Structure 1
Amino acid sequence: MHKPEGVIEIFLQPGDLYFGDRHTRIRTLLGSCVSLVLWHPHERLGGMCHYILPSRNRQGEQLDGRYADEALHLLLKEVNASGTHIEDYRISLFGGGNMFGALTPRNIGETNVSAGLELLAAHGLRCHARHAGGRGYRNLIFDIWSGHVALRCPSQQQIATRRYEAQPS
Structure 2
Amino acid sequence: MGAAECYLGMGEFQFANRPLRLRTLLGSCVAIVLWHPERSMGGMCHYMLPSRQQAPGMPPDGRYGDEAMMLFDQAIARYRSQATDYRAQVFGGGNMFPRQQTEGSTLDIGRRNIDTARRLLAERGIPIVAEHLGGYGHRKLVFDVHSGKVWLLFQEENRPYPRRPQ
TM range (shorter): 0.7 to 0.9
Q: Judge which range, 119-128 or 144-153, deviates more.
A: 119-128
Q: Distance in 1 between matches of 2:149 and 2:124?
A: 24
Is residue 2:72 matched to residue 1:75? yes
Coordinate RMSD, CA, aligned: 1.5
Which ranges in structure 2 are unaligned for 5 or more consecutive residues?
159-166
The residue number in structure 1 matching 2:19 is 23
Q: Distance in 1 between matches of 2:54 and 2:71?
A: 17
Aligned pairs (5 A) from 1:1-169? 5-60=1-56, 61-104=58-101, 105=105, 106-155=107-156
Amino acid at match of 1:134: G
Which string of whole-angstrom CA distances, capped at 9 and with x for unpartnered residues, describes residues 54-103 of structure 1? Answer: 00023312210000000011111111101222111111111000111122
TM-score by length of 1: 0.85
Which structure is larger by alpha-carbon Rg, 1 or 2?
A: 2
In the TM superposition, what is the alpha-carbon distance from 1:118 to its structure 2 partner?
1.0
Runs of at least 4 residues of structure 1 off by over 4 A? none
**Identity over the aligned pairs, expressed in percent?**
44
- The answer to whether the 8 Å contact 2:84/2:124 transfers is no
How has the CA–CA distance of structure 1 residues 21 and 156 changed in structure 2, closer, same or farther, with 3 Å as cutoff? Answer: farther
Q: Distance in 2 between matches of 1:124 and 1:147?
A: 19
Q: Distance in 2 between matches of 1:126 and 1:90?
A: 6
Amino acid at match of 1:100: F
Which string of whole-angstrom CA distances, capped at 9 and with x for unpartnered residues, describes residues 130-158 of structure 1? Answer: 1100111100000112111001001269x
Q: Distance in 2 between matches of 1:81 and 1:119?
A: 19
- The answer to whether the 8 Å contact 2:85/2:126 transfers is no
Amino acid at match of 1:25: R
